[in-house]
Structure 1
Amino acid sequence: MANRPALALPLSRRKFLLGTAAAGSFVLIHPYSLHAAPNQAHLRLLETTDIHVNVFPYDYYADKETDTVGLARTATLIDAVRAESKNSMLLDNGDFLQGNPMGDYVAYERGMKDGDIHPVIAAMNTLQYDAGTLGNHEFNYGLDFMTKVMAGANFPYACANLVKGDLKGSPREDDHFVKPYLILDREIEMGDGGKKPIKIGIIGFVPPQIMIWDSQNLQGKADTRDIVATAKAYVPQMKEEGADIIIALSHSGIAAGNEEKAENASLALAAVDGVDVIMTGHQHLQFPGDDFKGIKGADHKKGTLHGKPAVMAGFWGSHMGLVDLLLEHDGGAWKIADATAELRPIYKRVEKKPVRTVESENKVLDAARGDHEATLKYVRTPVGETAAPLYSYFALVADDPSVQIVNKAQTWYMEKILKGGEYASLPLLSAAAPFKAGGRGGADYYTDVKAGPIAIKNVADLYLYPNTVRAVKIKGSDVKEWLEMSAGMFRQIEKGKEDQRLLADDFPSYNYDVIDGVTYRIDVTQPAKYTTKGEIADDKAERILDLQYDGKPIDPDQEFVVATNNYRAGGGGNFPGINEDKIIYVAPDANRDVIVRYIHELGTINPSADANWSFAPADGTEVLFETGPGAIVYADQVKGVTIKPAGDGPNGFKLFKLKI
């Protein structure tokens, strides 16, 4: 039979063709499998990435189930995809070892003895992975811990740009913690049902920045090379050893540019001759998808980087990445005749709420169930202490401990990230807002953690949302406008008049940012400069007074780095001058995880507010504001202001008076 030409169909998972399976059941067969010629074969490459120990669909911080995470749910997708084709491989792209309380429980409480199996590895073993690579979070608990965990895996790892000791000259294979690359011998079923051998090369990469982020664990013990330079060194060697196709497991994001030792180098890596497929991750985003719209060389619709198929499968098990290859053998060599890339999610949004689309695989749950139950006890047990209460009753009228601790943790985290980098010399500020501050949430919707022991689940009370850390680079003038926008929280107050309402009805508390690292006063007798939509309301208005850095008036042209979250850095809240163009660092870590790690490292935290902001005096002026009934306990503890009860407010709220 003559060979047919390669298929070139505009395929998607919705266009699968129906085929029959054993016992009269039906499965969806991909056209590559259904129509492959005798010299062709269909190979499916499945990716998981950034699992971060999320085996169960459970939010340990909120202490409840969730529909948006869980390798157990992703496993159901994996089983379905395998059934749709004759040949498949499952690959993990790293960041499996740290990132939720189960990871911390095993590292800090249970520990790892020789021969122990980590719950995430136990879960992954049930899915029969073919290979994996290392992510930056594999090093958070130290090299010894990582080594013990990986020893339990029933599949090999590859990481080419990480070597032992200080890097000197060209690395040799025995310099690596794991093999730089793998050549996997497989037998693949052809279109006519026959079998042919194929050698599949797997090469892995980790962000070189681990030497900064985990310097305390790696200094003097490890070093990293540039991702692209390493690929150019090893890919030809892999070809010489017979690799028919080469898959790069790149725990590195997608970004334009190709500077040396770039953190997000997957796009440049795709341009390396000999690399056929890119499995990427690290950024906790989705590719194909609009997250990468507008990047030259990245086709966000087709899912290609420089024309080569690529995927980035979200994070925490939210998606499974899928690359379908139609391979063709010309009698002497294999080539990729056609390819498609897509993501499959474990949930969908219905009226803005997540709803799961698959159930969990019991075999995956059972593999980690014991450690899951132990983790529940762990998150409900104190892991540190707070020297002062954490409450948000007065977060909108005075510097506040619940916001203060978030800013302290973000600063602590970002200092380590920036250390030794190009922005290390810039002043570092931090911006955070109170999330639980009454409003539509009601009179009980406030943070209230007593002084003393603090459990991990209390962190959800401090930080409601699964945001991730971002850093932006802005000027002193931008800092002022950021605060001017934030000051829209307040009504304009008439000097000398009593019992005026202070808080604006239409300004959400999550947009009331406090910036630590500077000092300032807010003059509420002036009109707000911006509307809630970030539009100019009064271009002559000036509520932010005496804005200082390091005890001196802030220089409008001085550059600052501000730690914040992905919502604000991405333009959320319509803050003037704050958008994606200003982002200099996209952290894979959730703000809540950062707070937990901060508490764990310090042991005892001191969240007491430092009163870095206050209201500008307005003699003879008192204002009224609403807060929760629990505020009465703390009213006399607020620094720098005089607050006193003023009776009952509507809907269970209490009224308080504040002297400006």
Structure 2
Amino acid sequence: MSDVSGDAIGNRKLRITWKSFLLHDVTEVSASPRPTGHLRLIQTTDLHMHLMAFDYLLDRPNAQQGLVALAPLIATARQQVAASVLCDTGDFLQGTPLADDIAGRRMLPHPMVQAFNTLRYDAVTLGNHDFDYGLPYLRAVLADLHAPVVSANLKADGNAPFAAPWTLVTRQVACSDGQTRDLRVGIIGFGPPQIADWGAAWLHGMVTTDDIIATARQEVPLLRAAGADVIVALCHGGPAAGADSAENAALQLAALPQIDVVLMGHMHEVFPGTAFGPMPQVDPHRGTLAGKPAMMAGAHGKEVGILDLTLSVAAPDADGSQPARPMWRVVDHRCKVIRPSEPAVAPSILSRLLHNRLALPHAATLDRLRQPIGQTPVALTSHFAAIGADMTAPLLAQVQIEAISAALAGTPHAGLPVLATTAPFRAGGHGGPDNYIAISPGPLRRRDCAAIVPFDNPICAVLRRGWQIRAWLECCSAFFATLTPGRTDQALLNPRMAPYHFDTLHGLQYRIDLTVPPALPGAPPSRHRRITELTLRGRALDDDALCVVATSSYRAHGGGGIIAVPPQDIVHTSRDGLRTMLMQALHRSQGAVASAPQPWTFAPLPGTTARFTSSPQARDTLADHPHVTFAGLQDDGFASYRIAFCDVSGLHAPITAAI
């Protein structure tokens, strides 16, 4: 049994009150006449190299974030039960400026791998961002990992499996009839099939991917035949339907008969939880997908997931003998996702190990992030990104437009209008009330660029007709709820859509009519449109007009299921990522930033108001938004704001900051 003792990670003096940690606690009750036993699954996911309790983008400690903060919770979770399995569902290698420094130093063994080894993980699967430093680096990092890496649908170097598709972990389970039996847990891993496309610029064709469900149908029976009593799928994806289901196939995995449990990631949300609204076969309260237990343990080392399974086992044969293989079945589950409420009072072995290894790269990272690379005359914030006032978006749009225009010079596409997309990454949500961009007037530092562009993805130039651009905007407008005219204090936002899927297209002007329901991806076109008064250079955008749209490689290759672009319509992919391009542009312009108009506004709705949340700090900018008022503080640390849907076309000050 691969447990970690409290001594091993310094948990003796930690005062743990499980009730204070509880975010979601779900219990299913199902009686069974057969003997029963219990297995605990412990999960981390989307750590994104949040190891130490430090926030590099805010340049301050954060005692409730990072794997070090989760380590005592993991130890206690193991100590409480006789049989447990600890897994990670991917995206652990990249995501902080410290990760970039470690990759640049080629530091091996990798500190995250050392942490996994210290905590004695039982299995790990890979996410798309684990490939962001290239395949040779990932191979070198994983060579030191003690836990098996499972990845069934990823291949490298031709058609060879990149890792083992699955593994078997055996636990001894004490059953209710007084007997102890072996339980063989089969663990199989899956990554987004778009990994090869999203990382094409640095993977150079060395990685190929297969469809998740097709692969599962092939591999899961083999895992069962190898002796698995219970099969747990580690899916770096969440539940989705339609075009997004290829990327987020957890629901379809759960529907396969031989899969018993799905542990999810990629979406940076907590499941079960309120972030997931009603979907067929998805129960965000009971914590099930297609009737199977499922869990997603947040992101960035802020939560750990604990899923307790009750399993029934076949009773003795009629002659009193035991069957050759116990036949196990999940009959009950209990799920909770917990956060650390306070730091450990004594340093653990893990924290001491990481402090010693990370002292130099940590100091070097802070020195680099604090370097000024530009100046901003006004505050740059994303507090009101939900209503179109993302002060950093025009800056990013201008960088993309200039880069793509230069790249297409002298090509057949040189004369086409160039548009650019932006979407808010730091806009509250699961990241909490500090998860916003808040840059004061004055120096613009490297850490600010990392906050503005958390993922340094390449930019693609895609060809789009006017009708396709309209469909793109209609799909993204599902970020907002449908409002009833004349009603007050309605919910403005759709809780089931992440802010990073709300694209704004710069270079256009348009309004969003919230009385019209959003168009669903793949739905037939409707004569009722949310996007109105759509213009390009002061003239209505013709359905047949051809434009170039600069967008991230993630979006261009189907990320989020927002658009579907055939390969021939991707006419250029940048060599550098957007963050790198931003810093280069600031250097060329000597760091000065200016202003640009807001691309869109809401259509007027007299007598109608809606409420949304943002940081309490957003109150400081209300003078620039006379149609928005403060509506009170909330218990979760956010503030509530009320928006009135008057004609706001002349109310907004220009958004700073195009170069």
- State the TM-score, normalizing by the size of structure 2: 0.60
Shift of 1:595: 6.6
Report deviation, 1:380.
Answer: 2.9
Question: Aligned ranges for residues 278-289 of structure 1 at < 5 Å?
Answer: 278-289=262-273
User: What SS does the aligned partner of 1:234 have?
Assistant: helix
Q: 142, 147, 164: which one pairs with 1:150? A: 142
Cα 1:71–1:380 shift into 2, 3 Å: closer
Q: Which moved more, 1:334-343 or 1:89-98?
A: 334-343
**In the alignment, which residue of structure 2 is the partner of 1:333?**
326
The reply on whether 1:111 has 2:110 as its aligned counterpart is no
The CA deviation at 1:403 is 5.2
Q: 1:374 matched to which residue of 2?
A: 360
Please state how far the C-alpha of 1:244 moved relative to its aligned partner: 1.2
Gap change, CA 1:288 and 1:450, over 3 Å in 2: closer
Equivalence for 2:626: none
Q: What does residue 641 of structure 1 align with? A: none
- Structure 1 residue 161 and structure 2 residue 153: aligned? yes
Determine the structure 1 residue equivalent to 2:115: 123
Partner of 2:48: 52
- Seen in structure 2, the aligned counterparts of structure 1 residues 82 and 428 have a Cα distance that, compared at 3 Å, is same
Query: Cα gap change, 1:92/1:62 in structure 2, threshold over 3 Å: closer, same or farther?
Result: same
Q: What's the TM-score once normalised by structure 1's chain length? A: 0.60
Q: Does 1:518 align with 2:507?
A: yes
Query: Does 2:95 correspond to 1:99?
Result: yes
What SS does structure 2 have at the residue aligned with 1:380? helix
Residue 126 of structure 1 aligns to a residue whose secondary structure is helix
Q: 1:197 aligns with which of 169, 182, 200?
A: 182
User: Partners in 2 of 1:611 and 1:190 — Cα distance?
Assistant: 68
Deviations 1:608-654 (A, max 9, x none): 55765499xxxxxxxxxx99xxxxxxxxxxxxxxxxxxxxxxxxxxx
- 1:534-549 equivalence runs, <5 A: 549=536
What is the Cα-based RMSD across aligned positions, in Å? 5.1
Deviation for aligned residue 1:328:
2.6
How far apart are 1:121 and its partner, in Å?
1.3
Distance in structure 2 (CA, Å) of the matches to 1:77 and 1:433: 28
What amino acid is the match of 1:346? R
Q: Show structure 1 runs of 5+ residues with no match.
A: 1-24, 168-174, 348-354, 416-424, 436-444, 486-509, 523-528, 531-544, 565-580, 586-593, 616-625, 628-660
Per the TM alignment, residue 164 of structure 1 is displaced from its structure 2 partner at its CA by 1.9
Which residue number in structure 2 is paired with residue 324 of structure 1? 308
Larger Cα-atom Rg: 1
Match of 1:475 among 467, 470, 479: 470
Check 1:359–1:73 CA distance in 2 against 1; reply closer, same or farther (3 A cut).
farther
Paired residue type of 1:227: I
Please name the residue that 2:447 is paired with.
Answer: 456
Note the alpha carbon deviations across 1:359-416, whole angstroms, 9 max, x for none.
78622222321344334323332369887533326999xx99965444457889999x
Query: Which runs of 5 or more structure 2 residues have no equivalent in the other structure?
Result: 1-14, 20-24, 315-322, 383-388, 406-416, 428-437, 460-467, 481-498, 515-531, 553-559, 565-576, 600-619, 622-659
CA drift at 1:459? 4.8
Work out the CA distance in 2 between the residues paired with 1:54 and 1:281.
15
User: How much has 1:521 moved relative to structure 2?
Assistant: 12
- Relative contact order, CA 8 A, sep 6+: which one is greater? 2
2:80 matched to 1:65? no
SS of alignment partner, residue 119 of structure 2 = coil
Distance 1:602 1:89, change over 3 A: farther
Once residues 71 and 136 of structure 2 are traced to their aligned partners in structure 1, the CA distance between those partners, rounded to angstroms, is 29
Query: Which of 72, 76, 86 is residue 76 of structure 1 equivalent to?
Result: 72
- The answer to whether the 8 A contact 2:376-2:593 is kept is no
Deviations along 1:211-250, one digit per CA (max 9) or x if unpaired, are: 1110123232120000000000001111121111111000
* 1:136-183 CA distance string (max 9 Å, x none): 11100001111111111121110000012455xxxxxxx111101112
Q: Aligned ranges for residues 208-607 of structure 1 at < 5 Å?
A: 208-257=193-242, 262-330=246-314, 331=323, 332-347=325-340, 356=342, 362-382=348-368, 388-392=374-378, 404-407=394-397, 428-430=420-422, 447-450=440-443, 454-456=445-447, 459=450, 475=470, 517-518=506-507, 549=536, 551=537, 553-555=539-541, 596=579, 598=581, 604=587, 606=589
Shift of 1:325: 1.4
Q: Deviations over 1:465-499 (max 9, x none)?
A: xxxx9xxx9739979x99xx9xxxxxxxxxxxxxx
**Distance apart, 1:305 and its partner CA:** 0.7
State the Cα distance separating 1:356 from its structure 2 match.
Answer: 4.5
- Counterpart amino acid of residue 90 in structure 1: L
Residue type matched to 2:337 in 1?
Answer: R
**How far apart, CA to CA, are the structure 2 residues paired with 1:63 and 1:320?**
24
8 Å contact kept, 1:235–1:274: yes
Say yes or no: does 1:86 pair with 2:82: yes
Counterpart amino acid of residue 186 in structure 1: R
Q: Is residue 128 of structure 2 the alignment partner of residue 133 of structure 1?
A: no
Could you tell me how far 1:84 is from its partner in structure 2? 1.8
Q: Give, in angstroms, the shift of residue 82 of structure 1.
A: 1.3
Do the aligned partners of 2:172 and 2:183 also contact (CA within 8 Å) in 1? yes
From the superposition, tell whether residues 605 and 379 of structure 1 become closer, same or farther in structure 2 (CA, over 3 Å). Answer: farther
Relative distance call for 1:268 and 1:335 in structure 2 (3 A) is: same
Q: SS at the partner of 2:75? A: helix
**In structure 2, distance between residues paired with 1:165 and 1:412:** 36
Provide Cα deviations, 1:57-102, integer angstroms capped at 9, x if missing partner.
Answer: 2101111112442111222221121122111110111110000122
**3-state SS, counterpart of residue 62 of structure 1:** coil
Paired AA for residue 293 in structure 2: P
Deviations 1:487-515 (A, max 9, x none): xxxxxxxxxxxxxxxxxxxxxxx9xx996
* Mapped partners of 2:345, 2:403: distance in 1: 36
Q: 1:310 offset after TM fit, Å?
A: 0.6
Q: 1:275 Cα shift?
A: 0.7
Query: Which residue of 2 is the match for residue 638 of structure 1?
Result: none
Give the total of aligned pairs.
472
Distance in structure 1 (CA, Å) of the matches to 2:79 and 2:235: 26
Alignment check: 8 A CA contact 1:97 1:120 kept: yes
Worse-matched range after superposition: 36-45 or 297-306: 36-45
Aligned-residue identity in percent: 29
Residues of 1 paired with 2:542 and 2:43: CA distance?
Answer: 47
Provide Cα deviations, 1:414-459, integer angstroms capped at 9, x if missing partner: 99xxxxxxxxx99543367999xxxxxxxxx8634548xx433675
- The answer as to whether partners of 1:201 and 1:245 remain within 8 angstroms in 2 is yes
For 1:216 and 1:230, how far apart are their aligned partners in 2? 25
Q: Distance in 2 between matches of 1:52 and 1:239?
A: 32
Distance, in Å, in 2 between the alignment partners of 1:614 and 1:280 is: 37
Which stretch shifts more, 42-51 or 237-246?
237-246
